[in-house]
């Protein structure tokens, strides 16, 4: 008998680690974690198995098919926006070919299981591309179908993979004698920049928010790579997980699209610094914009319109800016670095 598992790719990444923690706290004891990096030891014991493997490796997929039944996939593995600009072709391989491999796995698994496989896919604010700051200011919160002209490889990859997900959900093998029905139940969320109290992101362009906070908490100076007035949407990690879990559990017939915006607050970099300074008055933060990374954030919207998620599956963040800092980020970060 194949063992039934919940598959998480990118399990050693920021969201992967937080998701393993949350699922295991909720009693999920059959997590199969996959990452090219080792999953941190304390989290490994919360998983049924943790495999160090590459989502581009066909042998890995052979092993998955023969050993496991997989009704739910959280495909979190990706190269983020800044990192992807240094190695765009490698990013395309991981972000697109990797996703294609997972979608194919989901389609195969659904034939084995005789029911749809849930495929949870984090997309990003990076799928939007605004031409200039004036337009960014004017348009405000963007709807899902607006401004889909990303300027980064990562943004292009995420946008295309959303389409691949829709394709696998509705049109995969559409010319076959007996096309599969509802094989892949693809559900995607366009996340804003995420901030966690427990991990620091790497390779992203929204990283200035979390980096500023984590540097200050450790008493390290930080040179912020965007202007003080730079504004984009952010979200505290617990809300990102809440969004993923709520969308996963939503009844299929309540969903009117495969891809949803979610958002919670959108401070400027200067406003993030104000919060950081309120908690760490000695924080040494300077603004030294890197014009190229700045241009990427400038192409992202000031905010995302998440009314569709609110209407279809009752999305509502728990953390506004005050609560995110006062009740989640600052107390947990203080504890985390006091323990080091
Ligand atoms: C990045 O900066 O690349 C990510 C994202 C906004 O998706 N954090």
Determine the pLDDT at residue 178.
83
CA-proximal residue: ligand 1, atom 7 (nearest): 124
The average confidence (pLDDT) of the chain is 97
Digit-coded pLDDT (tens) for 267-293: 999 999 999 999 999 999 999 999 999
Band of pLDDT at residue 164, cut at 50, 70 and 90: very high
Exposed e or buried b for every residue in 280-302, given b needs 16+ CB within 10 A?
A: beebebebebeeebbbbbbbbbb
CB-ligand 1 contact for 155 (6 Å cutoff): no
Distance 122 CA to ligand 1 centre (A): 11
The CA-to-CA distance between both ends of the chain, in Å, stands at 44
Whether the pLDDT of residue 182 is over 70: the answer is no
CB-ligand 1 contact for 206 (6 Å cutoff): yes
Digit-coded pLDDT (tens) for 125-143: 999 999 999 999 999 999 9
Band of pLDDT at residue 179, cut at 50, 70 and 90: confident
Angle, in degrees to the nearest 10, between helices 269-279 and 208-217: 20
Digit-coded pLDDT (tens) for 205-219: 999 999 999 999 999
CB-ligand 1 contact for 157 (6 Å cutoff): no
Distance 317 CA to ligand 1 centre (A): 19
Digit-coded pLDDT (tens) for 21-73: 999 999 999 999 999 999 999 999 999 999 999 999 999 999 999 999 999 99
Write down all domains in the chain, each with its CATH number in brackets: 78-194+234-264+302-319 (3.40.50.720)
Look up the pTM and report it. Answer: 0.97
Q: Which one from 68, 74, 128, 154 is the annotated catalytic residue?
A: 154
Atom of ligand 1 nearest to the CA of 232: 6
Q: 3-state DSSP helix/strand/coil percent for the chain, to nearest 5?
A: 45, 20, 35
Q: Are 260 and 312 in contact (CB under 8 A)?
A: yes
Question: Is 260 among the residues known to form the active site?
Answer: no
Distance 178 CA to ligand 1 centre (A): 40
Band of pLDDT at residue 180, cut at 50, 70 and 90: confident
Band of pLDDT at residue 339, cut at 50, 70 and 90: confident
CB-ligand 1 contact for 124 (6 Å cutoff): yes
Strand 31-35 relative to strand 49-52, pairing = parallel
Atom of ligand 1 nearest to the CA of 83: 3
């Amino acid at each position: 008998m194949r063992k039934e598992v919940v598959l998480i790719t990118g399990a050693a990444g920021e969201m992967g680690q937080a998701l393993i923690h949350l699922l295991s706290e909720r009693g999920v004891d059959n997590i199969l974690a996959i990452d090219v990096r080792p999953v941190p030891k304390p989290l490994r014991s919360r998983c049924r198995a943790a495999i160090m493997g590459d989502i581009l490796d066909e042998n890995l997929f052979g092993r998955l098919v023969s050993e496991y039944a997989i009704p739910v996939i959280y495909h979190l593995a990706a190269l983020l926006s800044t990192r992807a600009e240094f190695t765009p072709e490698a990013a395309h391989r991981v972000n697109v070919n990797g996703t294609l491999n997972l979608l194919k796995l989901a389609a195969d698994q659904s034939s084995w299981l005789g029911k749809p496989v849930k495929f949870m896919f984090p997309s990003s604010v990076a799928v939007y591309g605004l031409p200039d700051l004036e337009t960014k200011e004017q348009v405000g919160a963007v709807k899902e179908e607006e401004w889909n002209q990303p300027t980064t490889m990562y943004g292009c990859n995420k946008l295309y993979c959303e389409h691949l997900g829709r394709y696998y959900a509705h049109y995969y093998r559409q010319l076959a004698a007996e096309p599969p029905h509802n094989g892949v139940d693809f559900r995607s969320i366009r996340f804003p920049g995420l901030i966690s109290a427990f991990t620091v992101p790497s390779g992203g362009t929204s990283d200035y928010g979390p980096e500023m906070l984590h540097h200050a908490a450790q008493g390290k100076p930080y040179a912020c790579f965007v202007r003080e007035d730079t504004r984009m949407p952010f979200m505290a990690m617990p809300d990102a997980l809440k969004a993923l879990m709520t969308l996963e559990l939503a009844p299929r017939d309540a969903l009117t699209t495969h891809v949803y915006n979610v958002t919670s607050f959108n401070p400027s970099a200067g406003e993030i610094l104000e919060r950081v300074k309120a908690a760490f008055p000695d924080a040494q933060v300077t603004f030294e914009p890197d014009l190229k990374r700045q241009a990427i954030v400038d192409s992202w919207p000031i905010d995302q319109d998440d009314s569709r998620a609110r209407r279809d599956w009752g999305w509502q963040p728990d953390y506004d800016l005050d609560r995110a800092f006062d009740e989640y980020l600052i107390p947990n970060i203080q504890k985390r670095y006091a323990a080091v």
